[in-house]
Structures are given as structure tokens and as C-alpha cells.
Amino acid sequence: MVKSLPPRSAVAVEETWNLEDLFKTEDAYNEAIKDVQATVAAFAERFKGNMTDDSSVIEAIDGYAAIMGKLVPIGAYTNLALSVDQTNDEAQMRASKFGSIASKLGSQLAFFSSEISELPIELLEKAMEQSAEYKNYLEELIRQKPYKLHPEVERTLAALSSVLNAPYGLYDTTKLVDMKFDDFEVHGEKFPLSYISFEGGWEQEPDTEKRRAAYDAFHAKLKEYQHTQAKTYDMQLQKEKTISDLRGYDTVFDSLLFNQEVDRSMYDRQIDLIMNELAPHMRKYAKLLQKVHCLDEMTFSDLKVPLDPNYEPKITIEESKKYIKESLAIMGDDYMDMVNRSYDERWTDFAQNVGKSTGAFCSSPYGTHPYILISWTGSMEDVFVLAHELGHAGHFYNAHQHQNYFNSRPSTYFIEAPSTMNEMLVANHLLSNSDDPKFKRWVISSIVARTYYHNFVTHLLEAAYQRKVYERIDAGGSVNANVLNNLKRGVLEEFWGDDVKINEGAELTWMRQPHYYMGLYPYTYSAGLTISTQVSKRILSEGQPAVEDWLKVLQAGGTKPPAELSKMAGVDITTEQPLKDTIAYIGDLIDQLVELTEEIEGVTI
């Protein structure tokens, strides 16, 4: 039974992360802010209007990198402290105060990128010759030149950053602070409900009556906030469209894909191929779930139910170490040292508590170690999620060791490849350690229901919906709750066809994800998993040489665009073949589930 969540003050310290690695005390945090404020003022005094030759450009970049080195841990501490308890007044006030300070600092620093971007290309190229370390950064500045605005406009936009970023904060506040869920009732018995308990428990509840009742109660509460959330989202969309137009992009898609170093064809292909070619396989999976669970009809509220809930092992945090370490050992000693440290030094916040951000993420502030947020429920899914986030951690752990601040972060298109790679390594390890049909079915169903469903279905359907939203915005339109509901329902119906009933509430799924405040992010999950699926198959067949190639990719950070990083790992994402191969692989996994179910239970699908 899902329990009510405790307040943050009641959770065990060993299940929380240790932010003292960023700042040991609040006084140290405040002193760091004063220090960076003074540093920024001195930097502006020294370099504003004075970047006139290659030497002064390199010196200015050095100074700017040093400032970022001071700002990053401050921002990380501020955001991480708030993410574990959005109800904490001190954390809220600290975040609000730093937001204002960061806006002011951003305004003071805006001259740097503006003035350096306005320098002649010949001067920037000369600076590259003087400093190979900053070559990638300077090349990117040249690439951005056509879309830079007047320095005063850039400064104004920087000064308004806290206001321009307000929609995301408002979304989180509405979702995690204001939205309170009542208990729901089944046969006279009441059960507690929250965002975390629904997404981490009730959505996968094997008892159909409880699962569907939780679904109805959860979406009834979402519906009460749909108009506020829609207005918040429209603010975000109008901001993005306005800035896109100001900078001279042809479409908002071009604006949002620019920093990903991806063209529109790669973006559209990812959505179109999966919507068309994966859908039949997933409908077959839905029919399998319906048959096994003897459901009167297959509804949207049933899609997350485990294929064999009775076989699902409960996993403690301590027990997760064995699975994680054995699965990722192939990555080598340095990688495993990172994994061990993550447990020993409390890099991960496992606790479940009121006000904690939903889902999971990895924050990797440059200059210190990564931090992982997860709400541990004790299911095997948590092991896959933790492996996923450790994939992000391992990526930046490697990149930060080999690249400077400017070169460490790759395109968003590639960002989910290292994380989903670790999920594949866990799955491959589990499959290689047993011939038992029930265990094999459980592992494969975990891959399909979690790794691929999450990345190739949940997030991909977000992407297909998001594309329709931006097409509307690009045409000069706006959105409200009714528009968003209709667009979301249409995408769900297109993908699932007549095989799944899209019951009431499903159209509100757009309210559940923060990804819409992060640009064209949702489609990158399937892009990353396409890459990692192909690389994991290489590792299975080739062993250490493929691992070494992958580690070099991680170490390369953001020094190459995603197509080149993928090519380093042996995958050509400029063609549709890797995606087609991955879709076929998913189809093969589902076929195996059908065969295993027929063998184990005598059920014919």
C-alpha cells in the first residue's frame, strides 16, 4: 500500500544527498555570492570595450570561465536545495534572491558575449590560433554571429532572465506546492495520493480497481489546474517565439534546434518513423497486457501495469549496489570508482518526502561531482532509473576530467545516449545471468515497459504533441487548455489506434512533464536511446574495443556535434537505419514476450 509522504525533516539523513560538498555552511554560500559579485564587477571594468586583439580576447575568455566556475556551484546549491523540498520557505526565498542576483550578474556580463561576437571573424580566428583550448568556443561564437542582437538588447534580455524564466518556476510551484491530492477510495477503503505516489506506484498498481481509481482521482485534480498550467505554458511559448523572431530565425523550430546542432530532418525523422513504425509493435504489447491481466478493455490507465507483477522483486537501496556494480563493471575501473563514490559520498537523494521534485535527474556542476535525485520506491524500476542517472553522471564525470568548462556539455540531442546506455547494460547483464523463462520474461518486460516505453513512447508522444503546439505558435497562434487537451488526445489516439481506449484524463498528460519548458527536449530521449541501443549491441558483440570507443565519446564532451560523436561510437545517425534497427529490436523484444508468455502461461495472444 502506498503511504502518505513524510515531511523532509523526517527522512533519514543517509537517504539524502550531501550538499556540503558544494558549501559547508550558509555563510560560505553567501560569501561565495559576494565574491562572484566582486569578480564580475572587476571583470566588466577590465574588459568592457577593451577586447581589441587576440591576447585580450583570450584573457577575457579565461576570466569569464573563472566566473562561471564560481557561479556554477552557487546555482547548483540553490536549485538542488529547493528541488528536494519546494515547500521549504528558506529554500524558496534563497532561490528567489539568487534569481534576482543572477539576473543582475547576467546583465553585467552580457557585454562579453555581445562584444566578442561583434569582433571580426579574422580576429576570432587569430585568437583560435593562439589558444587551442578555446577553439570550439570561438567557432561556436562565429556560428552564432548571424543571430546576435545589439549589445544593449542582449544586456536587457540578460537583465530580464529571471522574468523570462518565470514560467518554469510557476509550473513547478503550481505542481509541487499548490496541488494537493485527496485520498481516493476503493470498496470503502481510503488510499493516499500524491504526484510521486501516482507516478512511482499507483500507475503500475496490479490491482485494476485501485489503479483505475487512482488514475481518475489524479487526473481529476490535474483538471482543476489545467487553465493555470495552460496559461503558464502559453507564456513560455510566446516568449520563445518572440525571441526567435527577434534573432531572425525562420521558425521557432530553427531557433530551438540551433544549439542542438541538429537539422529539422533529424528532428522530424525521429518523430515520424516512431509514430508510424513503432505503433504496431506497442499495440501488440498493449494487447498482451490486456490478455494477461484479463482486462475488460485496454485503457490508457492500464498501459503501465507490469506484465508479471508477482515476479517483481523488491529492491532496497543497499541491494541496488550489487545490480548496478555488476552491470556497469564492463565500463572499467575509473567508471566504477565514480559509481562507488556516488554511494559512499551521498551523491544521490533517495528519500521520498512532501514537496520533492517528481521524476529523477542528474545535476553535474562543473568543478565538483554530480548529484542525482530519485524517489526510491523499492521496485526494480528504481534500479534502471538509478543506472540511467548514473549514466549522466558518468558522462559528465568523464567530460569534466578531459574538457574545459566551455567544451564539457554536448548537444541536447546526444545527452540521453549515455544514460540510456546504462539501462541497456543493466538489462544485458540480467539477461546473461539466467535461462529461467519467467526471469527472462521479467527482464525483457522491464526493458520494454520502462526503458523503451519511457523513452520511445512517453517522451516521443510528448515530442509529437509538442511539434503540433509549435506549429500552431509559428503560425501566429496561441494555446489554452482546450487546445492543448485536443492536441494531446489526438496524438495519443493516432499512436494507439483502436487497441487502447484513451479514457478521460489522458488528454491532461501534457500537464505532467517539465520538459516543455526546456525547448525541443522530449524527442532527444528516443534519439539518445537509438544511439545507445546500437552501441550496446556493439559492446555485446565486440567487447572491450567498443567500450573504449564509448569512453572516448564520453570524454569528448561537447567538442563535436552529435552526428560526429555517434560516428566515433560506430553509429551513423545521419541515416534512418539506426532508428529502423532499434524499432525492429523493440518489436523483437515484444515478440519474445508473447512467446515466453505462451510458454509459461499457455496464453495465446
pTM of the model: 0.84
Q: Are 298 and 501 in contact (CB under 8 A)?
A: yes
Q: Are 510 and 516 in contact (CB under 8 A)?
A: yes
C-alpha span between 118 and 141 (Å, rounded) = 9
C-alpha span between 14 and 254 (Å, rounded) = 45
- pLDDT over threshold 60, residue 2: no
Q: Are 391 and 554 in contact (CB under 8 A)?
A: no
With bands split at pLDDT 50, 70 and 90, how would you rate the model's confidence at 126?
very high
- pLDDT over threshold 60, residue 268: yes
Task: Give the contacts of 227 (CB within 8 A, at least 6 positions apart).
Answer: 480, 481
Per-residue pLDDT, 486: 97
Q: Tell me the residue type at 306.
A: P
| Mean pLDDT across 339-346 | 97
CB atoms < 10 A from the CB of 493, how many? 16
C-alpha span between 103 and 110 (Å, rounded) = 10
pLDDT in tens, 431-467: 888 788 988 898 899 889 888 998 899 999 999 999 9
- pLDDT over threshold 50, residue 230: yes
Q: Tell me the residue type at 30.
A: N
Cell of 364: 553535474
Higher pLDDT, 543 or 605: 543
pLDDT in tens, 25-61: 999 999 999 999 999 999 999 999 999 999 999 999 9
Q: Tell me the residue type at 280.
A: P
With bands split at pLDDT 50, 70 and 90, how would you rate the model's confidence at 3?
low
Per-residue pLDDT, 162: 83
Higher pLDDT, 24 or 513: 24
Cα distances (Å, whole numbers) of residue 352 to 76, 175, 359:
21, 16, 11
Per-residue pLDDT, 154: 84
- pLDDT over threshold 80, residue 21: yes
Quickly tell me which residue has 572587476 as its cell.
Answer: 42
C-alpha span between 36 and 305 (Å, rounded) = 50
Per-residue pLDDT, 248: 95
C-alpha span between 1 and 3 (Å, rounded) = 6
Q: Are 362 and 329 in contact (CB under 8 A)?
A: no
Side-chain-facing half-sphere of 30: CA atoms under 13 Å: 5
Average pLDDT, the chain: 93
Per-residue pLDDT, 1: 46
CB neighbour class for 550 (10 Å; exposed up to 12, middle 13-18, buried from 19): buried
The gap from C-alpha 174 to its chain's centroid, in whole angstroms, comes to 20
Domain ranges of the chain: 17-159, 311-432+530-589
Residue ranges with strand state E in 204-346 = none
Cα distances (Å, whole numbers) of residue 205 to 209, 339, 409:
9, 31, 38
Per-residue pLDDT, 605: 67
pLDDT in tens, 319-331: 999 999 999 999 9
| Mean pLDDT across 139-167 | 87
C-alpha span between 15 and 197 (Å, rounded) = 18
| Mean pLDDT across 4-16 | 93
Per-residue pLDDT, 293: 93
Q: Are 366 and 351 in contact (CB under 8 A)?
A: no
C-alpha span between 534 and 570 (Å, rounded) = 8
CATH topology of domain 311-432+530-589: Collagenase (Catalytic Domain) (3.40.390)
| Mean pLDDT across 127-150 | 90
| Mean pLDDT across 201-230 | 95
- pLDDT over threshold 70, residue 603: no
Cell of 222: 490535474
Buried b (16+ CB within 10 A) or exposed e, 134-148: bbbbbeebeeeeebb
C-alpha span between 303 and 494 (Å, rounded) = 16
CB atoms < 10 A from the CB of 265, how many? 10
Per-residue pLDDT, 200: 79
Q: Are 530 and 562 in contact (CB under 8 A)?
A: no
Per-residue pLDDT, 325: 96
| Rg of the chain on CA atoms, in Å | 24
Q: What is the 3-state secondary structure (H, E, C) of 422-489?
A: HHHHHHHHHHCCCCCHHHHHHHHHHHHHHHHHHHHHHHHHHHHHHHHHHHHHHCCCCCCHHHHHHHHH
Provide the sign of the torsion angle of the four alpha carbons 30, 32, 37, 42, taken in this order.
positive
Identify the architecture of domain 17-159 in CATH: Up-down Bundle (1.20)
Cell of 294: 484479463
Q: Tell me the residue type at 373.
A: L
Of 148-162, 367-381, 517-531, give the lowest mean pLDDT range. 148-162
C-alpha span between 333 and 100 (Å, rounded) = 43
With bands split at pLDDT 50, 70 and 90, how would you rate the model's confidence at 601?
confident
Measure CA of the first residue to CA of the last residue in the chain; give whole Å.
31
The gap from C-alpha 411 to its chain's centroid, in whole angstroms, comes to 13
Q: What is the 3-state secondary structure (H, E, C) of 267-292?
A: HHHHHHHHHHHHHHHHHHHHHHHHHH
